[in-house]
Amino acid sequence: MLQHLPESEAVNEKFNIDFKSQYIPWDTYEEKLAVKMASGDLPDVIGMEEVDSNYLKWAKEGAFLPLDEFLQQYETFKVVPDFVWDSLKVDGHVYGIPDYFSAKGGKKMVIRKDWLDKLGLKMPTNYEELKQVVVAFTKNDPDGNGKADTQGLGLAKDIYYDPANGAYYSNTNWYHKNDKGQYIPGNISPVNKEKVQFLYDLNKEGILNKDWPVTTYKDVFKSFNAGKVGIWRTARRQRLTPIY
């Protein structure tokens, strides 16, 4: 198996099975998964980040087990909205189980309210207000030490930065329309342009850390906890689990 599940011992005990995980480095996972799938020696369960071309290909090739008949048997599946299940369908069948969570969990921005209060700022409600907060956190000495040593927004390498802050702005949504009334992917929608513009403006003003492409996620996390970063993005990803 390719996906690490720390609850494996509890799963073994509950279902009387021999569940074993295989640990794969995050930055080589997709490559090694493709090799594993091509080998024909398939694991029972894998984890995927999203419904991508490989998911569609492997589902069409019959590598995954259709799960439709099982979805109504478990109460926990019923809390997942229909549009989420629809996004997992290939030729009318569901082949994966989403690691679904509400807006209270998952990837989200975390912001220092004490810095907002220190600078007399309100919690931002749109990208323009968020940009103003990031600039103020960087330039206006929110920690009060008299030094220009704070970073408004923490970015890190190897983490795709998508400041969605809600399903409406997600790159993966499919409910925005173009000027012809056609549904279009979230990554080419007008709201995605708003996110890109947000980051572009910050970079143009010299607000973003120029070393972020070589900065590790854990270093940004440490800086946030040390009081040097005002806003950062949690790294938990919504995973898809196809079954064989």
Strands (DSSP E) along 141-187, which ranges?
151-154, 176-177, 183-184
Same domain, yes or no: 50 and 120:
no
**What confidence score (pLDDT) does residue 1 get?**
37
* 159, part of any domain: yes
- Number of compact structural domains in the chain: 2
Beta carbons within 8 Å of 220's beta carbon, 6+ residues apart: 154, 155, 156, 229, 232
142 contacts 117 by C-beta, under 8 angstroms: no
Q: Which of 127-141, 158-172, 175-189 has the lowest mean pLDDT?
A: 158-172
Indicate the helix (H) or strand (E) that contains 152: strand 151-154
Same domain, yes or no: 179 and 121:
yes
* 196, part of any domain: yes
Residue 109 has pLDDT above 90, yes or no: no
Closest by Cα among 230, 152, 243 to 198 = 152
Rounded Cα distance, 202 and 39, in Å: 45
DSSP-derived pairing of the beta strands 176-177 and 229-233: unpaired
Closest by Cα among 20, 56, 18, 19 to 37 = 56
* 239, part of any domain: no
pLDDT in tens, 58-108: 999 999 999 999 988 888 888 888 888 988 899 999 999 987 655 444 557
Residue 187 has pLDDT above 50, yes or no: yes
Same domain, yes or no: 96 and 147:
no
* 125, part of any domain: yes
* 28, part of any domain: yes
Q: Which of 40, 75, 102 represents a domain boundary (last residue)?
A: 102
Same domain, yes or no: 35 and 62:
yes
Rounded Cα distance, 115 and 11, in Å: 43
Residue 170 has pLDDT above 80, yes or no: no
* 2, part of any domain: no
Same domain, yes or no: 229 and 113:
yes
* 123, part of any domain: yes
Q: Which domain holds residue 204?
A: 109-233
Q: Which of 102, 119, 146 represents a domain boundary (last residue)?
A: 102
Indicate the helix (H) or strand (E) that contains 131: helix 127-139
Q: Which of 67, 102, 137 represents a domain boundary (last residue)?
A: 102
SS3 240: strand
* 141, part of any domain: yes
**What confidence score (pLDDT) does residue 103 get?**
46
Same domain, yes or no: 60 and 82:
yes
Model confidence, pTM: 0.56
User: Residue 189 sits in a domain of what CATH number?
Assistant: 3.40.190.10
Same domain, yes or no: 115 and 228:
yes
Same domain, yes or no: 33 and 142:
no
In single-letter form, the type of residue at position 18 comes to D
Same domain, yes or no: 76 and 113:
no
Among left, alpha and beta (phi > 0; psi -120 to 50; other), residue 155 is beta
